[in-house]
Amino acid sequence: MIRVGVLGAAGRMGQQVGHAVASADDLELVAAVDPDHAGTDAGGIVIAGSLDGLAGADVAVDFTHPSAVMGNIRWCLSHGVHVVVGTTGLSTENLDEVRALTEHTDGNVVVAPNFALGAVLLLRFAAEAARFFDAAEVIELHHDGKADAPSGTALATARAIDAARAGEWSAPDAIGADPSARGADVQGVRVHAVRLPGLVAHEEVLFGGPGQVLTLRHDALDRSAFMPGVLLAIRSIANRPGLTLGLDALLD
SS3 for 97? Answer: helix
What CATH number corresponds to the domain at position 206?
Answer: 3.30.360.10
Active site residue 142: yes
Number of domains in the chain: 2
Whether 125 and 184 share a structural domain: yes
Whether 7 and 107 share a structural domain: yes
Cα separations (Å) of 117 from 97, 175, 218, 229? 27, 39, 10, 6
Whether 32 and 57 share a structural domain: yes
Whether 66 and 167 share a structural domain: no
- Between CA 148 and CA 5 the distance in angstroms is 24
Whether 10 and 98 share a structural domain: yes
Phi, psi values for residue 147, rounded to 5°: -80, -35
Whether 14 and 95 share a structural domain: yes
Whether 50 and 148 share a structural domain: no
Which of 19, 79, 143, 146 is labelled catalytic?
146
Per-residue pLDDT tens over the stretch 59-72: 999 999 889 999 99
What CATH number corresponds to the domain at position 76?
Answer: 3.40.50.720
Please, are residues 140 and 127 in contact by the beta-carbon 8 Å criterion? no
Whether 211 and 151 share a structural domain: yes
Per-residue pLDDT tens over the stretch 172-198: 777 777 888 889 999 999 999 999 999
CB atoms within 10 A of CB 213: 10
What is the pLDDT, as a whole number, of residue 168? 84
Whether 102 and 11 share a structural domain: yes
What is the pLDDT, as a whole number, of residue 175? 77
What is the pLDDT, as a whole number, of residue 43? 74
Domain that holds residue 140: 117-221
Whether 96 and 136 share a structural domain: no
Which of 37, 142, 202, 218 is labelled catalytic?
142
Active site residue 143: no
CB atoms within 10 A of CB 204: 18
What is the pLDDT, as a whole number, of residue 243? 97
Low-confidence ranges of the chain (pLDDT < 50): none
Whether 195 and 70 share a structural domain: no
Whether 65 and 139 share a structural domain: no
